[in-house]
Structure 1
Amino acid sequence: MLLEKKNAIIYGAGGAVGGAIARAFAREGARVFLTGRTRASLDAVAEEIAAEGGEVETAQVDALDEQAIETHADAVVRAAGGIDISVNAIRVAEPGIYGIPVVELSPERFTLPVTAYLSSHFLTTRAAARRMIETRSGVIVTITGMPARAATPGAGGVAVAWAGIEALTRGLAAELGPLGIRAVCLRSNSIPETTVIREGYNARARATGQTPEQIQAVAEATVPLKRLPTLADLANVATFMASDQARAMTATVANLSGGLLADS
């Protein structure tokens, strides 16, 4: 098992991405600590993991609440002996921040995702890093999307936020590498299984008179692989990146664009 005897905190574990990563980590032997703002969604993921024999615990933690994050991290260390992996998979889904031209955004709508994403990632990665330093080992995993690098209309402050997360990941890698801690990022293309992408396809379909399936087909046609990534694809890469098999990798972004973004 790739993550046997590893302790992993997953922020935003009640969402599609966080839940998929939590399940994959548990299948590979990790003890997973699921956090999020909604208890019901966390419990649903935890029940699936427990039914498969995985070790799982849940806690209602707002990933923007510094004290809650620190208190939970201390609780994990007391319960498990340390933190080996930290994953931030939160999603900022406030209306009016995505799909709108920058010139039509209010300052509040533009800065909201920048502030929320960067504050959350700063707080969660700092909490994990402080405790990983004590054991001189650990992996911090961040997640972004194509607008972090690609020229994407309608991305607004989300693109800026994700680019900032990637910069934060590189900075963490530089500072923490000598202490045995890795920091890596996953940048994915659109995942049709997620609610935010389905809602986007539906909105575009209504505006153009097409079906959501037609919208997705057009998106897939632009990708060299002729398919978009799945939640399983993302979770599998996250598992590998968090494992010792990727121990030579840090300060890097895993490219799950299906070839649409060519690394240079």
Structure 2
Amino acid sequence: MNDVYQRTVLITGASYGIGAATAREFGRRGAHVLLLARTQSALEEVARDIRASGGAASVYPVDLTDARAVADVARQVLAATGPPDILLSNAGAGRWLFIDETTPEEAVAMMAMPYFAAFYITRALLPAMRARGSGHLAYVNSPASLVVWPGAAAYTAARWALRGFVEAVRAELHSTRLRVTTIIPGLVATTYFEHNPGVLERVPELARRLLPVLTADQAASAIVDGLARGKREIVLPGMLRLLYAAYTVAPGLVQYLTILSGAKRSPDQTGR
């Protein structure tokens, strides 16, 4: 068994969806999983599943958009287990909205998570990981971090901010033994779509026609396998990797088709 499965893995946004499924997969394979999210009851449920499968789990309820709270929980983690071997920043939120549909408060909240949540947890734990001289930082992003589509303005901006942050972390760690991985899943069947009604209808037709919908467990398995292999980038499913390859060769064409097949609004529609 690859020793990555025997290590300590900290996962943010671990209460449901991809984060919870990935936590269960790591636990099933032998890792000690540290679960971070806002809702303690949801984290406890994930932890029970991990322990029932023979794994180890610790629960750390925290508001990941609160810098002081993240620093406090990081100190608890370091005191209890030392720096994690893998830091998986998965927390994210936000509805897909046109600009005039988006309130300033929503725009700020979408930037707070995923971008600031990733910044806070990385800043809190990276010094200890660097001092140890090893570790793996991974960040779950969105296809919106590369190709934009109509009807998701603030969401896209937050994902581009996260993309820039990850590349900056990668540059700063270039001469170290720490690894950095970007994870970009396509359509994954999670409760995100239940919590954000109307989002699924705004997925560009190009993506709906070409990309199969993955289960959270399928995404989790691919993520754990990719991290075990030390991959720089994990893109799933395979068809999304092909679309990215096409974007590299013909970015203008792929961008045009994405916009053309994206959400439309009539001229008289407003966000009020």
TM superposition score category, shorter chain reference: 0.7 to 0.9
Residue 179 of structure 2 aligns with which residue? 182
Contact 1:140-1:183 within 8 A present in 2 as well = yes
Could you tell me which residue of structure 2 aligns to residue 145 of structure 1?
142
Give 1:108's aligned amino acid: E
Residues 79 and 110 of structure 1, relative CA distance in 2, 3 Å threshold: closer
Compute the displacement of 1:145 (Å): 1.4
Gap change, CA 1:4 and 1:108, over 3 Å in 2: closer
2:192 is equivalent to residue 196 of structure 1? yes
How far 1:56 sits from its partner (Å)? 0.8
Conserved 8 A contact 1:229-1:258: no
User: Contact between 1:184 and 1:241, CA under 8 Å: does it hold in 2?
Assistant: no
User: 1:161 & 1:221 partners in 2: Cα distance?
Assistant: 23
User: Is the partner of 1:150 in helix, strand or coil?
Assistant: coil
TM (normalized to structure 1)? 0.82
Aligned to 1:222: 209
Name the CA shift for 1:227/1:131 in 2 (closer, same or farther; >3 Å). same
Measured after TM superposition, the shift of residue 179 of structure 1 is 2.0
- TM value normalised by structure 2: 0.79
Identity percentage of aligned residues: 24
Q: Is the 8 A contact 1:146 1:257 kept in 2?
A: no
8 A Cα contact 1:141 1:183, kept in partner: yes
CA–CA separation in structure 1 for the residues paired with 2:171 and 2:219 = 25
Aligned letter for 1:164?
A
The alpha-carbon deviation at position 221 of structure 1 amounts to 5.5
Asked if the contact 1:26/1:55 (under 8 Å) is kept, the reply is yes
Aligned to 2:42: 41
Alignment of 1:14-29 (within 5 A): 14-29=15-30
Residue identity matched to 1:254? I
User: 1:262 maps to what in 2?
Assistant: 244
Whole-angstrom CA distance in 1 between matches of 2:166 and 2:207: 29
Q: C-alpha distance in 1, partners of 2:86/2:106?
A: 32
Q: CA deviation at 1:150?
A: 2.1
Deviation of 1:48 (Å)? 0.4
**Alpha-carbon shift at residue 174 of structure 1 (Å):** 1.3
SS of residue paired to 1:91: coil
Verify the 8 A CA contact 1:15 1:90 in the aligned structure 2: no
Q: Distance in 2 between matches of 1:25 and 1:47?
A: 14
CA distance in 2, matches of 1:75, 1:105: 36
1:68 aligned partner? 69
Worse-superposed segment, 106-115 or 124-133: 106-115
SS of equivalent residue, structure 2 residue 175: helix
| Paired AA for residue 45 in structure 1 | V
Q: Deviations over 1:82-134 (max 9, x none)?
A: 311111221324xxxx2432244333333431233221110011122111011
Alignment of 1:51-66 (within 5 A): 51-66=52-67
Question: 1:35/1:203 Cα in 2 relative to 1: closer, same or farther (>3 Å)?
Answer: same
Matched residues, number: 242
CA offset at residue 154 of structure 1? 1.4
Q: Tell me, what secondary structure is at the counterpart of 1:140?
A: strand
Deviation at 1:190, TM superposition (A): 1.7
Query: 2:270 is matched with which residue?
Result: none
Cα distance in structure 1, aligned partners of 2:37 and 2:208: 35
